[in-house]
């Protein structure tokens, strides 16, 4: 089955700096890669996703890149703000029912 | 659009009792619903996948007789934790996807925090 590895587990940046979180996956059949932001005690919120037919997608300060050959994808947050502080999860789909396999998460802290 | 609710948001129960958690899609028909468990400071672990009108598919290591899942309609799935024990205390989150939502995109409920005493 699919296995998703996520690094780093914690990331601390200064406000205004960029943050990058990286994930690798094992199943070459995966073709959907969402990123979720989860605040303490809340539901995961989809912030951006990418499908295997594109290599990069951007939405304001957030971008995701995908390298299918190397089986890795990354989340880039520019001009970070304190409200970006949260746990971020990457995921990859698996199987015909669209199961998502999640990475272990990255706790991002943005210091003002 | 694509709103998912869960009830209750938190529950405390005694060891040995059963607890039912409801997951509803409010504005779309959820052909598939997913149940996750999340322990503190850990990731979301998929427990089972259910399609409306079918038996749920459980992930390896998840006891289907302990975690009963019913997906009787296109807007409602329930998870019943039977004979709960303290180690079942966790944050349970459902998600849903539908025939007319974006392919593979899942919409998450707000979660249910279960504490077993």
pLDDT in tens, B79-97: 999 999 999 999 999 999 9
For residue A98, give the nearest of B91, B97, B110 by CB distance.
B97
The per-residue pLDDT for B82 is 97
| Ranges under pLDDT 70 in chain A | 97
Task: Identify the bridge partners of residue B90 per DSSP, sorted by sequence position.
Answer: B114
Measured over all CA atoms, what is the biggest interatomic distance in chain A, rounded to whole angstroms? 44
Residues B13-46 have pLDDT tens digits of: 999 999 999 999 998 888 899 999 999 989 999 9
The first and second tokens of residue B16, run together, are: 């040995």
Q: Give residue B64's pLDDT.
A: 93
SS3 of A8, please? Answer: coil
Beta bridge partners of B51: B32
| Rounded distance between C-alpha atoms, residue A31 and residue A29, angstroms | 6
* Residue in B with minimal Cα distance to A87: B41
Whose CA is closest to B40, among A40, A101, A36, A69? A40
pLDDT of residue B53: 81
**Residue that is written with structure tokens 């998450």 in the block:** B108
- The rounded percent of chain B whose pLDDT value lies above 90 is 78
Asked whether the beta carbons of residue A43 and residue B57 sit closer than 8 angstroms, the reply is no
The span from the CA of A41 to the CA of B40, in Å, is: 9
Position A53 scores a pLDDT of 86
Q: Which has more pLDDT, B112 or B101?
A: B112
For residue A46, count CB atoms less than 10 angstroms from its CB and return exposed for 0-12, middle for 13-18, buried for 19 or more: middle
- What is the distance between the alpha carbons of residues B52 and B47, in angstroms, rounded to a whole number? 17
CA B19 vs CA B62, B70, B79: distances in Å: 17, 13, 8
DSSP A23-59: EEE--TT--EEEEEEE-TTS--EEEEEEETT-SEEEE
Contact A75, A64 (CB under 8 A): yes
Q: How sure is the predictor about B55, in pLDDT bands with cuts at 50, 70 and 90? A: confident
Asked if residue B114 lies in contact with residue B39, where contact means CB atoms within 8 angstroms, the answer is: no
User: What percent of chain B is modeled with pLDDT above 70?
Assistant: 97
CA-based torsion, A108, A110, B3, B4: positive or negative: positive
- Do residue A102 and residue B43 have CB atoms under 8 angstroms apart? yes
User: What's residue B112's pLDDT?
Assistant: 97
Closest residue in B to A49 (Cα–Cα): B105
Whether residue A8 has a cis bond before it, omega within 30° of 0: yes
Cis status, amide bond into B4, omega within 30 of 0: no
A and B: number of Cβ contacts within 8 A: 51
B46/A101 touch (CB, cutoff 8 Å), yes or no: yes
């Amino acid at each position: 089955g699919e296995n998703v590895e996520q690094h780093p587990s914690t990331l601390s940046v200064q406000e205004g700096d960029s943050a990058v979180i990286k994930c690798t996956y094992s199943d070459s059949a995966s073709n959907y890669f969402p990123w979720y932001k989860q605040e303490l005690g809340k539901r995961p919120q989809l912030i951006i996703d990418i499908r295997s037919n594109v290599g990069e997608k951007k939405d304001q300060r957030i971008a995701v890149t995908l390298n299918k050959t190397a089986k890795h994808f990354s989340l880039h947050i520019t001009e970070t703000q304190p409200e970006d502080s949260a746990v971020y999860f990457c995921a990859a789909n698996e199987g015909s029912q669209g199961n998502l396999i999640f990475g272990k998460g990255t706790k991002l802290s943005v210091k003002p | 659009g694509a709103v998912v609710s869960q009830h209750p948001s938190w529950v405390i129960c005694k060891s040995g009792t059963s607890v039912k958690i409801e997951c509803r899609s409010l504005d779309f028909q959820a052909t598939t619903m997913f149940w996750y468990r999340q322990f503190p400071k850990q990731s979301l672990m998929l427990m089972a996948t259910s399609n409306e009108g079918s038996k749920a598919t459980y992930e390896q290591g998840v006891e289907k007789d302990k975690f009963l899942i019913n997906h009787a309609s296109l807007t409602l799935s329930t998870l019943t934790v039977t004979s709960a024990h303290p180690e079942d205390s966790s944050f349970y989150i459902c998600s849903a996807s539908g025939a007319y939502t974006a392919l593979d995109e899942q919409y998450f409920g707000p979660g249910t925090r279960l504490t077993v005493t």
